[in-house]
A and B are shown apart, each in its own frame.
Chain A
Amino acid sequence: MNSREFIAKRTAKFFNDGDLVNLGIGMPTLCLNYLPEDVDIWIQSENGVIGLDGTPKEGEYADPDIVDASGSISTMRVGGCCFDSFTSFGLIRGGHVNVTVLGAYEVDQEGNLANWSVPGKTVAGMGGAMDLVSGAQLVIVMTMHCDKYGNPKILKKCTLPLTAVNEVDYIVTELCVLHHTEEGLVLEELAPGVTVEEVVSKTDAELIIPEKIGSME
Chain B
Amino acid sequence: MAKSKVVSIDEAMEKIHSGQTLMVPGFVNCGVPQTLIAAILERGYTDLNIISNNTSVKGKGIGKLVHANRIKHITCSHIGNNTETVEKVVAGEINVTFVPQGTLCERIRAGGAGIGGILTPTGLGTPVEEGKQVIEINGKKYLLELPLRADVAIIHAYKADKIGNCIYHRTARNFNQIMATAADFVIVEAEEIVEVGELDPDIIVTPGCLVDMVVQARLEDRDE
Contacts and interface: CB of A to CB of B under 8 A. Distances in A.
A124 B28 contact: no
Contacts of B100: 126-131
B122 A84 contact: no
B218 interface: no
Interface in A118-154: 122-131, 134-135
Interface in A17-73: 45-49, 63-67, 70-71
Given A85-B178, A127-B80, A71 B28 contact: yes
A67 B61 CA distance: 15
A129 B127 CA distance: 14
Contacts of B214: none
B90 A123 contact: yes
B109 interface: yes
A14 interface: no
B27 A85 contact: yes
Contacts of A48: 27, 171, 173-174
A192 interface: no
A66 B173 CA distance: 10
Given A89-B102, A126-B98, A163 B126 contact: yes
A111 B161 CA distance: 50
Contacts of A65: 30-31, 158, 169-172
A64 B30 contact: yes
Contact of B122 (A49, A86, A122, A131): A131
A110 B78 CA distance: 27
Interface string B73-114: 000111111000010011000001010111101101100000
Contacts of A213: none
Size range of the chain B interface in the assembly: 35 or more
B171 A130 contact: no
Contacts of B126: 130, 161-165
A84 B123 contact: no
A149 to B, nearest CB: 22
A131 B128 CA distance: 12
Contact of B27 (A67, A129, A134, A162): A67
B24 to A, nearest CB: 13
Nearest to A71: B28
A67 B173 CA distance: 11
Nearest to B125: A165
B86 A66 contact: no
A124 B178 contact: no
Interface in A74-126: 76, 82-86, 88-89, 92-93, 112, 117, 122-126
A124 B125 contact: no
Interface string B202-215: 00010000000000
Interface string B126-145: 11100000000000000000
Contacts of B121: 93, 134-135
A89 B101 contact: yes
Contact of B125 (A67, A131, A164): A164
B80 A86 contact: no
Contact of B175 (A84, A128, A134): A84
Contacts of B128: 126, 130
B101 A128 contact: yes
B21 interface: no
Given A85-B53, A162-B126, 9 more contacts: A47-B30, A65-B170, A67-B28, A89-B105, A93-B102, A112-B125, A117-B127, A129-B100, A162-B125
20 contacts: A46-B101, A47-B27, A47-B28, A48-B27, A65-B172, A84-B175, A84-B177, A85-B101, A85-B177, A86-B177, A93-B120, A123-B86, A125-B76, A125-B96, A126-B77, A131-B103, A131-B122, A162-B126, A163-B126, A164-B126
CB-CB nearest 4 A-B residue pairs: A71-B28, A124-B80, A89-B102, A131-B102
